[in-house]
Structure formats: C-alpha cells, structure tokens
A and B are shown apart, each in its own frame.
Chain A
Amino acid sequence: MGPLIPNEIIDVNWNFLIALIVGIGFGFILERAGFSSSRKLAGVFYGYDFVVLRVFFTAAVTAAIGLYYFSYFEWIDLSIIYINPLYLKSNLIGGAIMGLGFIIGGFCPGTGVCAAMIGKIDAMVFLGGIFIGIFIFGETYELLWQKIHMDTFLGAPLVFDSLGITSGLFILGLTAAALLAFYVTAKIVKKVKPVDY
C-alpha cells in the first residue's frame, strides 16, 4: 500500500501541501517542546537539560518500530522509500561543521527558524548566517566542493546490513540504548547544578 505518493494513492501534486502541513506541525511541536530556546538546546552539551535528546531519540525509535511493523503487515514497501545516500567523506565533514554550528550558534537549522519566527533576534542572525553560508557554498560548489562531495559514494547502506544482524535485533538494541540513555541522562540532570532559563 504505502508509501502513498510513489504508489500514486495520493497524487504527486499533493507533495508540497502535505510537506507544508507536516512542516507546520513539526515547527509547532519544536516550539512547544521549548526548542526555540538556545539555552535549552545547549543544555545537552552542558548536562543540565536533555529534552532534545529524549524527543529525537523517542521519535527515532518510535518511527523505526512503527515502520518495521507496517512493513511486516505490508502497509508500506520499505524497498521504495527514499534513503539519504552516504557520501562518507562529505557526511563526516558536514556533520562536524553542523555540530560546531550547533554549539556556537545554539540552534540547529530547524529550531533556528522556529526561534526566529517567535521573534528571537539571535535566531534571526543565525538564519542570516545560514543563508550567507548557503550562498557562498552554492557559488563555489563546482570550483571547490564538488570533488569532495562526490568522493566516497557508498549508496544507501543500512546499519544492520553492515553489521550483519537482523533489523529486529538492531531495533531492539536501539530501543534498549534509548531507554538506557533516558535513564542515565535523568541521573545526570539531578547531579548537575540547575540552570535558570
């Protein structure tokens, strides 16, 4: 049955409208979870607030369990869903830059937009920086970056295939790791001096 759009159960022209609705929902949840505060986001790095980790880890585990049950009941065909391709070198470099930007700026791109929309000036500056960066990258892409970007293309490998275990075992491990992380971070928060924000 699913995915709905590639299987033409929903017309492809609905794509952007659905994306808009999902995006608004995502932004709303981010804001309500307090992710428009850079202090809350930075809390993960300083150990006084782990809500970000909990929300995203829960989302990942829920989605993984849900998708594989859906696939088992043949509600979704996992072989035709889009998986981001792995370009090892550029993914590593990009991840490092993204992490640096996260801790320096206090936002990740999505939460930056959220915070800018509720009027935070630091987030607006952050967004401005993003667009300047995108512009410079776009203008110099073919000159400087294309070779690095296209290097070490590895297709779209899956973790459990690379490890040689079943998807079920991997999901069980991931769930256990998530719950353990929630438990440990709850202990850490209790020990770290509370920060008022």
Chain B
Amino acid sequence: MKMNLRYTLLSIILLTLAFGFNILPEKNFSKDLTAEDLLLAVLDDSRYISSDDIASMLLNNDPSLGLIDVRDSAQFNAFSLPGAVNIPLDSLLTETASYYLDQNIKINVFYSNGSIYASQAWLLSKRKGYKNVLIMRGGLNNWVETILQPTEPKPNEPSSAFDLYQFRKGASQFFGGGSQVSSSSSTTKKAPIIRRKKKKSVAGGC
C-alpha cells in the first residue's frame, strides 16, 4: 500500500511538471542577430569546412551535403562541383534561393572562386537566420590545389600527410581532374580511393 502511494505521488509530480510547461508564459527565443552575435560568429572558425571533407562527403554520396555555388551562371556552367546548385550572390535573397537555404535538413556549403563571395553569402544567410550554412575553405582555387592537383609531401613529413596525399590523389582521379601520375591507369576512371574516416557524432542507444 505504501509503495502504491509513493508511485501515485511520483506520477502526480511528473504530470504537474509536464502540464506546467504548457502554462508557462511564452518566451521569445527568436531574437534578432545583434552585431555582437555576428562578430562572435565571424570570429568562430567553425563556419569553414575543408575541401577534403567536401571531397569525402561527395565520395560517400552523403545526402546531407548541399553545395551552393555563388558565382555567376557563366562561371558555374564552365565548371562546378558535382551536385552543386547555382545561386549567384545577387539572387541570394530571392524566393528560389530561400527554398534551398531556409531548411533544417541539409548542410549547405557556399563556395566561390576564392572565399570572399562565399563569406558574404554566409554573412547574409546568418543574418537571415538560415541554419546549417558553411563555407568551403579557400573556395575553388583551393579545391584545385588540394584535390585536383595535390602536391606530394616531402619525405620528412608525418605519415598523416602521406595518407592525406593518397586520399587527394584518389579523389583527383574520381573528380576527373586526373593527375600526371594516373596516366598509366587512364582506362579506369574510378581508381581505388583511400577514404578518410568521416567525423561522426557517436550515436546513442541501449
């Protein structure tokens, strides 16, 4: 009987707490982004994603990646990353753009030739309150340098540099840039690719 009383009491506490949340006065969480917040976001380095991570996500067909090309359409048609969507900087605030940007599912990565246009697009998106927006570090120039034409590390560099080089070499063949080394096996476009481990959060469960 005593046990039952205790359970009843606990149940009442739980229900009261759950009910209480419904009658609490509304709180406005969606504050406007202040200059201070924006400065903090700019100082924070985590808005960048490396070209290696992008390459790895593309190779793994990661569905959570959304690539946004902010250059004009002529440049986009000349060369773009696989699966990228072209939203030139001047049309970033249009309805069509918000269809791609105002969402909570994908990680949208801006890229331009360098970093400047992508950074501007990122800043505007931040101000608009779009979630999950990142910038590809160094833009396409860096993509060409690291992924399409990787340079071989010096013999005295750590082995991780060689692993990275192997990965980049594989990726460069995959993305069609090719390299001088790969000319011998030019018949197969898809060379064995050494994949780097993708950083993933640890999933829970019992």
Contact = CB atoms under 8 A, between A and B. Distances in A.
B64 A85 contact: yes
Given A154-B105, A155-B106, 11 more contacts: A61-B14, A65-B14, A65-B18, A72-B21, A84-B204, A108-B205, A168-B22, A168-B24, A174-B18, A175-B14, A175-B18
B126 to A, nearest CB: 14
Interface of A: 19, 56, 61-62, 65, 68-69, 72, 79, 82, 84-85, 108-111, 146, 150, 153-156, 166-169, 171-172, 174-176, 178-179, 182
B99 interface: no
Contact of A56 (B21, B131, B203, B206): B206
A111 B206 contact: yes
**Interface of B: prevailing SS:** loop
A153 B63 contact: yes
B27 interface: yes
A167 B104 CA distance: 17
Interface centre among A154, A178, A179 (most CB of B within 10 A): A179
Contacts of B15: 172, 175-176, 179
Nearest to B23: A168
Contacts of B24: 72, 168
20 contacts: A19-B202, A61-B18, A69-B21, A72-B21, A72-B27, A84-B204, A109-B205, A110-B206, A150-B62, A153-B63, A155-B106, A156-B105, A168-B18, A168-B21, A169-B22, A174-B18, A175-B15, A175-B17, A176-B18, A179-B11
B203 A84 contact: yes
A150 B105 contact: no
B183 interface: no
Contacts of B203: 84
A160 B104 CA distance: 15
Interface in B93-114: 103-106
A110 B19 contact: no
A182 B25 CA distance: 31
Contact of B21 (A68, A109, A111): A68
A109 B203 CA distance: 13
Contacts of B7: 182
B105 A179 contact: no
Contact of B105 (A72, A146, A153): A153
A65 B11 contact: no
B184 interface: no
B104 A156 contact: yes
**Residue with the greatest number of chain B CB neighbours at <10 A, chosen from A56, A84, A167, A172:** A172
Most A-side CB within 10 Å, residue of B7, B21, B105? B21
Nearest to B104: A155
B185 interface: no
A103 to B, nearest CB: 15
Nearest to A153: B63
A182 B7 CA distance: 10
B206 A153 contact: no
A69 B104 contact: no
Contacts of B106: 155
A62 B106 CA distance: 30
